[in-house]
Amino acid sequence: MIIVAHVLLILLGATEILQADLLPDEKISLLPPVNFTIKVTGLAQVLLHWKPNPDQEQRNVNLEYQVKINAPKEDDYETRITESKCVTILHKGFSASVRTILQNDHSLLASSWVSAELHAPPGSPGTSIVNLTCTTNTTEDNYSRLRSYQVSLHCTWLVGTDAPEDTRYFLYYRYGSWTEECQEYSKDTLGRNIACWFPRTFILSKGRDWLVVLVNGSSKHSAIKPFDQLFALHAIDQINPPLNVTAEIEGTRLSIQWEKPVSAFPIHCFDYEVKIHNTRNGYLQIEKLMTNAFISIIDDLSKYDVQVRAAVSSMCREAGLWSEWSQPIYVGNDEHKPLREWFLIVIMATICFILLILSLICKICHLWIKLFPPIPAPKSNIKDLFVTTNYEAGARPAVCISEFPRRGTAASVERLIKNILDE
């Protein structure tokens, strides 16, 4: 046991000595790197390179380096190697700094900074292009056995406000290690290039590298300032609409199906939106889906137009643009109403028409009074029928008959009775 205890003590002491050698000495002096350079290696791409300070004291520690980008956009990161690639715009210039660092769990030791700079390229202010926009689109490649899909690139821009009339702009793009110059331009009224079209490129639609676009120029009257810009593919990729959209109605069920767009992404990498428009009442229904089929309950008496669009799902890459809507498909029919509905409408219209005609006839011909004359009150005796006396104030004189007329005056009596009844 005593021997074992001595062995353990020896091992413990050796471990402490080893750890003491490995721990950084807080009094160690860190020296900055040397020969720090910035070199342009491609469009919007630079290589930062430096060497460890040869006078740096070595104590079995792993030195690291902190890189700080000062312009055009601030950034910083750490690395163990002595070079670093950086993709960034360069038309505003570029500057960076680097220093040696040594860190542990408790503290950070660092040397002083060393810096290098790239000046902005020459050119007169206001001569560079403005409002540069680019879009990509994927098509099937029937000419290559290596790639099933081909990506096109289309860019547009505006001429600089102070660019001379004889300015000629030239566009280049870089994706990965491939760089190409545009061959197909569109021009303004003065013959200056304002758009570019690449029907075929080396861009990978599923790639994640930055797309770099540079536009420089020339003029006999002024130095044209170049302009470069970085594009993320997911932000400019114009997805194709879904294919073979179909819609069928069975009773009150509207069934819609479609196929994925032309794209290098597989079928599970798409989100969809379905738009159903009721042309009869203007109601609009939009549904978001992750499948390529949808069933909706509808009014079977209406007509509908159906459209579908697509976007690459965030499961496969960062969210980007939606495609254009597919061509509308029309289903249903609101031109012919059911027989029962038409019958009710005709009956109601006929009844209203007959009532209108009758009311007009009655008003014009007083037919109502002739059909239904007022009934006179019953008389107590025959004398009341022939003798009427009006005792009211302001009434006309009473008509009296003292005796029955002779036989020859029967017609006169009838006329007299009729006049009395009418009055």
Identify the pLDDT of residue 392: 44
Higher pLDDT, 332 or 78: 78
Identify the pLDDT of residue 1: 45
Same domain, 41 and 62: yes
Identify the pLDDT of residue 342: 62
Whether the predicted pLDDT of 184 surpasses 90 = yes
According to DSSP, residue 259 is labeled: E
Using CA atoms, how far apart are residues 125 and 163, in angstroms rounded to an integer? 9
Same domain, 217 and 269: no
Identify the pLDDT of residue 22: 42
**Please, which pLDDT band fits residue 68 given cuts at 50, 70 and 90?**
very high
Whether the predicted pLDDT of 115 surpasses 70 = yes
Whether the predicted pLDDT of 195 surpasses 70 = yes
**Please, which pLDDT band fits residue 4 given cuts at 50, 70 and 90?**
very low
Least confident of 281-285, 351-355, 386-390: 386-390
Distances 275 to 283, 294, 310, 321, 330 between C-alpha atoms, Å: 11, 11, 12, 17, 12
| Residue type at 245 in one-letter notation | V
Question: Mean pLDDT across the stretch 191-217?
Answer: 96
CA angle, corner 102, sides to 98 and 106, nearest 5?
130
**Please, which pLDDT band fits residue 14 given cuts at 50, 70 and 90?**
very low
In the chain, count H helices and then E strands: 6, 23
Residues 148-166: pLDDT tens digits?
899 999 999 999 999 999 9
Query: Residue 399: which domain range?
Result: 382-422
Using CA atoms, how far apart are residues 264 and 144, in angstroms rounded to an integer? 14
* Percent of residues, the chain, with pLDDT higher than 70: 76
Domain assignment present for residue 8? The answer is: no
Indicate the burial class of 129 (C-beta count within 10 angstroms; 0-12, 13-18, 19 or more). Answer: buried
Same domain, 317 and 353: no
Using CA atoms, how far apart are residues 417 and 379, in angstroms rounded to an integer? 13
Using CA atoms, how far apart are residues 246 and 288, in angstroms rounded to an integer? 17
Indicate the burial class of 370 (C-beta count within 10 angstroms; 0-12, 13-18, 19 or more). Answer: exposed
Same domain, 161 and 226: yes
Domain assignment present for residue 24? The answer is: no
Mean of the per-residue pLDDT values of the chain: 83
Identify the pLDDT of residue 60: 74
Using CA atoms, how far apart are residues 322 and 261, in angstroms rounded to an integer? 11
Domain's final residue, options 236, 265, 294: 236
Same domain, 262 and 347: no
According to DSSP, residue 237 is labeled: B
Same domain, 168 and 262: no
Whether the predicted pLDDT of 67 surpasses 90 = yes
Using CA atoms, how far apart are residues 233 and 413, in angstroms rounded to an integer? 115
DSSP H/E element including 422: helix 410-422
* Count of domains forming the chain: 5
Using CA atoms, how far apart are residues 244 and 270, in angstroms rounded to an integer? 16
Identify the pLDDT of residue 336: 52
pTM of the shown model: 0.70
Identify the pLDDT of residue 62: 82
Whether the predicted pLDDT of 103 surpasses 70 = yes
Residues 215-232: pLDDT tens digits?
999 999 999 999 999 999
Whether the predicted pLDDT of 265 surpasses 90 = yes
Domain's final residue, options 68, 85, 118: 118
Q: Do 64 and 102 form a contact (C-beta atoms < 8 A)? A: yes
**Please, which pLDDT band fits residue 16 given cuts at 50, 70 and 90?**
very low
Question: Mean pLDDT across the stretch 133-139?
Answer: 97
Same domain, 192 and 228: yes
| Residue type at 128 in one-letter notation | S
Reduced to 3 states (helix: H, G, I; strand: E, B; else coil), residue 382 is helix
Identify the pLDDT of residue 61: 77
Higher pLDDT, 74 or 400: 74
Domain assignment present for residue 153? The answer is: yes
Identify the pLDDT of residue 19: 44
Name which of 111, 104, 90, 107 is nearest 45 in CA terms: 90
Residues 295-322: pLDDT tens digits?
999 887 889 999 999 999 999 999 999 9
Same domain, 211 and 134: yes
Domain assignment present for residue 376? The answer is: no
Domain assignment present for residue 1? The answer is: no
**Please, which pLDDT band fits residue 106 given cuts at 50, 70 and 90?**
confident
Identify the pLDDT of residue 159: 97
Phi, psi for residue 44 in degrees, rounded to 5: 55, 40
Residues 82-96: pLDDT tens digits?
999 999 999 999 999
Domain assignment present for residue 71? The answer is: yes
Domain assignment present for residue 170? The answer is: yes
DSSP H/E element including 383: helix 382-386
The CATH number for 248's domain is 2.60.40.10
Domain's final residue, options 84, 118, 152: 118
Domain assignment present for residue 248? The answer is: yes
Name which of 100, 89, 19, 85 is nearest 49 in CA terms: 85
Residues 353-383: pLDDT tens digits?
888 887 777 767 665 566 566 666 555 554 4
